[in-house]
């Protein structure tokens, strides 16, 4: 495949914008390579919060370079700006400019897309709550990105992921039901029967029930054929949907009337954030979300010099000087400051210093622990309004 850059290409600055090659050439010719601090901030105005994600790739890009990197912990939920309207730096890098500056393009690309996906997954998880959320959007993005998509969907709050390589990346079992092609090839009832007969009994029995007929009729037939049916899945095309919540209500009603109260209802197919509360109310018990998460808009991170040889210096529109980021342990508000310690102005609590060193002189300190990092996201979602 010709459209994939290798890790070697990325490390050799092949995916970098050419203008960083120019600055490289000029600074090397003039012998100027100052010690700088660069900060990564988002200028988003219209999003309630960002989930920071992508430190796994960031440390791989920067390891072995003579620099120090500080970051908010992976999975930290933060608003673009602090209580005083100052943009919150998510990452801070210090060292000689040429050791890391020319990597701005891949650094920002990694963080922006990973954080965009994790952030969108977190919005869905907040709305869906304790019901299962499956990431199934690998098919909407380039296949080379499947591990990235599923890793960051999981971090942001998805409970399961659908792609095989994505599940391997997070050390879990991939989750899925059955595609329409199975039921078109074998016929609906034979397809359900063979699925139940042939597929590993540890795999949940979820029957797709919208291939040819009315969903409630198919749901009851599937429940009669598969003894331990755990759920039916409705992926009804939008052209046939009419009122999707009402279809769910009918399915729930008929399953209950026929003694299948324990059979859940999984919904999928172009579901957006604004659809969730109505679908939950109607009786959906699990959600498969594809495009909305995998094609989430990237977070618009930018990377700027804020200090040169210890002197505050930056471009217009940015705030100069090396900064620290604090979060209140009680009200969870953020404060950007140049001080080493801060007290919350709202409740006088000593604030927590949020930057952790993730690279020390080129040595990687960050260690991924996705289960712990995902739990950190879920815990913080409890603080969000
Ligand atoms: Zn506070």
C-alpha atoms less than 13 angstroms from C-alpha of 46 in its C-beta half-sphere? 1
Q: What is the pLDDT of residue 119?
A: 98
Q: Is the pLDDT of residue 45 over 90?
A: no
Q: CA distances (Å), 243 to each of 249, 274, 279, in order? A: 10, 14, 10
Q: Is the pLDDT of residue 325 over 90?
A: yes
Q: Is the pLDDT of residue 44 over 90?
A: no
Query: 109 C-alpha to center of ligand 1: Å?
Result: 33
Q: What is the pLDDT of residue 242?
A: 82
Query: 50 C-alpha to center of ligand 1: Å?
Result: 19
Q: Is the pLDDT of residue 3 over 90?
A: yes
Phi/psi of residue 102, nearest 5 degrees? -65, -10
Other CB atoms within a 10 A radius of the CB of residue 98 amount to 17
Query: 380 C-alpha to center of ligand 1: Å?
Result: 15
Contact call for residues 108 and 93 (beta carbons, < 8 A):
no
Q: What is the pLDDT of residue 127?
A: 98
With H, G, I as helix, E, B as strand and everything else as coil, classify residue 313: coil
Q: What is the pLDDT of residue 234?
A: 94
Enter the DSSP assignment of 162. Answer: -
Q: What is the pLDDT of residue 236?
A: 83
Query: 324 C-alpha to center of ligand 1: Å?
Result: 17
Contact call for residues 327 and 354 (beta carbons, < 8 A):
yes
Phi/psi of residue 149, nearest 5 degrees? -65, -50
Query: 343 C-alpha to center of ligand 1: Å?
Result: 8
Q: 237-283, pLDDT tens digit by residue?
A: 887 878 999 999 999 999 999 999 999 999 999 999 999 999 999 99
Q: What is the pLDDT of residue 43?
A: 86
Query: 334 C-alpha to center of ligand 1: Å?
Result: 9
Contact call for residues 293 and 116 (beta carbons, < 8 A):
no
Q: Which of 108, 87, 91 is nearest to 38 (CA)?
A: 91
Q: 309-323, pLDDT tens digit by residue?
A: 999 999 999 999 999
Helices (H) and strands (E) in the chain, counts: 15, 18
Q: What is the pLDDT of residue 240?
A: 80
Q: 338-352, pLDDT tens digit by residue?
A: 999 999 999 999 999
Contact call for residues 242 and 282 (beta carbons, < 8 A):
no
Query: 83 C-alpha to center of ligand 1: Å?
Result: 10
Distance between CA 23 and CA 297 in Å, rounded? 30
Query: 355 C-alpha to center of ligand 1: Å?
Result: 18
Q: Which residues surround ligand 1, an ion (CB under 5 A)?
A: 328, 330-331, 344, 346-347
What average pLDDT score do residues 97-122 get? Answer: 98
Which positions ≥6 away from 171 have C-beta within 8 Å? 370
Query: 356 C-alpha to center of ligand 1: Å?
Result: 21
Q: What is the pLDDT of residue 39?
A: 98
Q: What is the pLDDT of residue 294?
A: 97
Query: 80 C-alpha to center of ligand 1: Å?
Result: 18
Contact call for residues 81 and 44 (beta carbons, < 8 A):
no
Query: 85 C-alpha to center of ligand 1: Å?
Result: 16
What average pLDDT score do residues 320-340 get? Answer: 97
C-alpha 75: how far from chain center: 9
Distance between CA 306 and CA 309 in Å, rounded? 10
Q: What is the pLDDT of residue 237?
A: 81
Phi/psi of residue 94, nearest 5 degrees? -130, 145
Query: 367 C-alpha to center of ligand 1: Å?
Result: 29
Query: 337 C-alpha to center of ligand 1: Å?
Result: 15
C-alpha 104: how far from chain center: 21
Average pLDDT taken over every residue of the chain: 96
């Amino acid at each position: 495949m010709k459209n994939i850059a290798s890790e070697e290409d990325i490390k050799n600055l092949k995916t970098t914008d050419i203008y960083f090659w120019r600055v490289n050439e000029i600074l090397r010719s003039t012998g100027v390579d100052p010690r700088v601090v660069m900060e990564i901030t988002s200028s988003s105005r219209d999003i309630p919060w960002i989930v920071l994600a992508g430190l796994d790739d960031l440390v791989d890009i920067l390891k072995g370079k003579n620099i120090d990197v500080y970051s908010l912990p992976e999975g930290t939920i933060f608003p673009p700006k602090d209580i005083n309207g100052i943009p919150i730096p998510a990452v801070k890098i210090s060292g000689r400019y040429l050791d890391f500056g020319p990597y701005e393009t891949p650094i920002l690309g990694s963080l922006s897309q990973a954080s965009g996906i994790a952030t969108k997954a977190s919005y869905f998880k907040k709305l869906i709550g304790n019901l299962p959320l499956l990431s199934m959007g690998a098919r909407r993005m380039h296949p080379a990105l499947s591990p990235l998509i599923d890793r960051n969907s999981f971090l942001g709050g998805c409970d399961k992921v659908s792609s095989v390589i994505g599940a391997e990346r997070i050390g879990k079992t991939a989750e899925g039901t059955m595609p329409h092609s199975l039921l078109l090839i074998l016929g609906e009832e034979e397809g359900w029967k063979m699925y139940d007969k042939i597929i590993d009994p540890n795999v949940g029995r979820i029957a797709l029930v919208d291939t040819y007929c009315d969903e409630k009729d198919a749901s009851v037939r599937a429940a009669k054929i598969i003894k331990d049916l755990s759920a039916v899945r409705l992926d009804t095309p939008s052209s046939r949907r009419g009122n999707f919540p009402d279809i769910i209500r009918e399915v729930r009603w008929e399953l209950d009337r026929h003694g299948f109260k324990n059979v859940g209802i999984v919904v999928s197919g172009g579901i957006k954030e604004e659809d969730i509360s109505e679908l939950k109310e109607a009786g959906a018990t699990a959600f498969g979300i594809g495009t909305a998460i995998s094609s989430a808009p990237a977070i618009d991170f930018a990377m700027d010099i804020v200090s040169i040889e210890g002197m505050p210096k930056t471009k217009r529109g940015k705030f100069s000087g090396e900064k620290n980021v604090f979060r209140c342990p009680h009200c969870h508000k953020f404060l950007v400051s140049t001080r080493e310690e801060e007290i919350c102005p709202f409740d006088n609590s000593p604030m927590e210093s949020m930057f952790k060193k993730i690279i020390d002189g080129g040595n990687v300190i960050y260690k991924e622990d996705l289960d712990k990092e995902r739990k950190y996201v879920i815990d913080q979602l409890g603080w969000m309004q």
